[in-house]
Amino acid sequence: MTRNWRALVAYDGTRYRGFQVQASGSTVQGELERALAQVTGGPVRVAGAGRTDAGVHASGQVISFRLASALDGTALGRGVNALLPEDIAVSEVEPVGERFHARFSARGRAYEYRIRNAPARAPLERLRELHVPQALDDGAMSRAALRLIGRHDFAAFAAGEGGERTVRHAGLSREGTLLRFKIEADGFLRGMVRGVVGTLLWVGRGKITAERFGEILESRDRSQAGPSAAARGLCLVAVEYGEREDDGHAEGDDQDPRGEGE
């Protein structure tokens, strides 16, 4: 009997061309489908909640897939992990309702961007954070980030077409020399988070004020915002689902089909 499954996926995106299968090059989706096919003996198509781009990481990616297998979730997860490369792992593999879809059932996603703000870089963390040696005014950056909350057209930060999204939380925290920017929204435009972070760095360096950051947001003009921050600092940390996780037509279906394409 064919069943619908879901799993949590974590990966270091450094050496991949993104989550989604490409015409050439290694992708996270491609590796997952290869491993699942070897375990089950037939082709398996995987859907991801967020189609992260090259160099972007995930600790809370969610996938769904259909397959006919006598294996339970524990055995299936163990078999898949044995065949995956060391920079990808699945967990919480379980059967779900027939209508559940990793992307279409999602009601929101959360991303984190890490900045190492110190004179010396942290070599062991170099693949998962951006090193900024100059002093940053994180207070001003925090005030600017608050302007993102609410429903806006985020075209000023998008790599492609703009569109309205609702940001539920946007904040910056400091742990010693590490700055963490976290943003939660019902959907993301392609390149949106990295565009936001690049412009927040302008605020932190004193190039623009928090007020000017708000004006850039409202302008919907990408040419007014800062350059996109490097992909390596970005991580998909969580995907939110509602009470009816099996609803394949949940709030957020109008999202950019690439999700947060970084």
pLDDT digits (tens, 9 = 90+) for 101-114: 999 999 999 999 99
Segments of 88-127 assigned E as strands: 88-96, 106-116
- With tokens 């988070």, the residue in question is 193
Q: What is d(CA 262, CA 251) in angstroms, rounded to the nearest whole number?
A: 22
Q: What is d(CA 256, CA 262) in angstroms, rounded to the nearest whole number?
A: 12
Boundaries of CATH 3.30.70.580 in the chain? 2-104
20-64: pLDDT as tens digits: 999 889 999 999 999 999 999 989 999 999 999 999 999 999 999
**107-238 is a CATH 3.30.70.660 domain:** yes
Question: Active-site residue among 53, 138, 186, 256?
Answer: 53
Tell me what pLDDT residue 232 has. 97
Query: Could you tell me which CATH number the domain at 2-104 has?
Result: 3.30.70.580
Segments of the chain assigned E as strands: 2-11, 46-48, 57-68, 88-96, 106-116, 130-131, 150-153, 164-175, 178-185, 234-241
Cβ neighbours for 122, distance < 8 A, ≥ 6 positions apart: 116, 129, 131, 177
Q: Is 53 a catalytic residue?
A: yes
Q: Which ranges in 91-250 belong to alpha helices (H)?
A: 138-146, 192-204, 210-219
- DSSP label at 222? G
Tell me what pLDDT residue 156 has. 97
Question: Which residue numbers in the chain have pLDDT < 70?
Answer: 243-262
Going from the C-alpha of 156 to that of each of 45, 207, 240, the distances in angstroms are 34, 17, 25
